[in-house]
């Protein structure tokens, strides 16, 4: 278990019945919501919140995220401590790490990569621009979740699984599909008895109200690769399953 030594946020996350699925494990959607809320709260404390960035014509965009479970998070887990901290930006990405622990040790870790976008030009900005607003110290400690992501290429080996039309409940404050919902879109290709060990998601294009997404999947060993397409790829995901 790796914990930060400099600027970090520690928050207590409480779990309720509605946070668990029929398999008794926490929903991946709920995990991503905890991560999103912690990142938002910490960003505001560090001068990188939505209002501060918006006033300077800049937006945060989540590029990719990965969650790795150390053990199943079941209904027996009533709460956990979530640590999150930023690493120094590199080129066009700013990485943020997460570690979740209980009295029994680490239960999962996660890593996410963010980009800065110019609101006016809709172009990616150098990530180091965040240093103009950042109030804190970057940590050099990396969480246990690897920062390496699989490069997914869509081809004829993918099989269509289902179609999804974006509805009102999928949208966030910005009027497009919230990033956390993609975890549900990806996990919905699985069968009821399959257990997720890890999931990584890469976001390619935003989805808005009324868009119809076709979700494809292919399997190899205990890995399921998922691609969601409208015309082009909107998101891709790689899910590692527990072996039976």
What SS3 state is found at 3?
coil
Q: Determine the pLDDT at residue 46.
A: 87
User: Rounded CA gap, 212 and 148, in Å?
Assistant: 30
Q: Tens-digit pLDDT profile for the chain (244 aa)? A: 666 667 899 999 999 999 999 889 999 999 999 999 999 999 989 888 888 888 888 888 899 999 999 999 999 999 999 999 999 888 888 899 999 999 999 999 999 999 888 877 788 888 777 887 788 788 888 999 998 999 999 999 999 999 999 999 999 887 889 999 999 999 999 998 899 999 999 999 999 999 999 999 999 999 999 999 999 999 999 999 998 6
Structure tokens at 127: 């990530």
Q: How wide is the angle at C-alpha 91 spanned by C-alphas 85 and 92, nearest 5°?
A: 80
Are 227 and 154 a contacting pair, CB within 8 Å?
A: yes
Q: Determine the pLDDT at residue 48.
A: 82
Q: Determine the pLDDT at residue 226.
A: 99
Q: Determine the pLDDT at residue 128.
A: 79
Domains (range + CATH), the chain = 9-132 (3.10.129.10), 159-241 (3.10.129.10)
Q: Determine the pLDDT at residue 1.
A: 67
Q: Determine the pLDDT at residue 89.
A: 84
For the chain, give the number of residues.
Answer: 244
Q: Determine the pLDDT at residue 60.
A: 86
Whether this prediction's pTM lies above 0.75 is answered by: yes
User: Rounded CA gap, 209 and 232, in Å?
Assistant: 17
Q: Which residues pair with 230 in a beta bridge?
A: none
């Amino acid at each position: 278990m790796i914990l930060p030594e400099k600027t970090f946020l520690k928050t207590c996350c409480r779990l309720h019945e509605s946070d668990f699925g029929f398999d008794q494990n926490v929903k991946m959607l709920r995990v991503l919501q905890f991560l999103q809320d912690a990142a938002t709260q910490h960003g505001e404390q560090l001068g990188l919140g939505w209002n501060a960035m918006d006033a300077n014509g800049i937006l945060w965009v989540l590029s990719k995220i990965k969650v790795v479970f150390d053990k199943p998070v079941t209904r027996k887990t009533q709460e956990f401590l979530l640590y999150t901290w930023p690493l120094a930006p590199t080129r066009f990405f700013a990485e943020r790490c997460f570690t979740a622990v209980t009295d029994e040790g680490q239960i999962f870790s996660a890593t996410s990569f963010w980009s800065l976008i110019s609101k006016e030009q809709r172009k990616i900005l150098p990530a180091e621009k965040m240093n103009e607003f950042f109030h804190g110290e970057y940590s050099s400690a990396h969480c246990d979740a690897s920062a390496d992501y699989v490069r997914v290429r869509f081809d004829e080996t993918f099989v269509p699984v289902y179609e999804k039309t974006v509805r009102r409940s999928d949208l966030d404050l910005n009027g497009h599909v919230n990033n956390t919902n993609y975890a549900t879109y990806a996990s919905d290709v699985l069968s009821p008895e399959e257990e997720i060990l890890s999931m990584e998601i890469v976001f390619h294009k935003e989805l808005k109200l009324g868009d119809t997404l076709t979700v494809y999947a292919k399997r190899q060993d205990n890995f399921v690769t998922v691609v969601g397409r409208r015309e082009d790829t909107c998101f891709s995901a790689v899910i590692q399953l527990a072996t039976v």
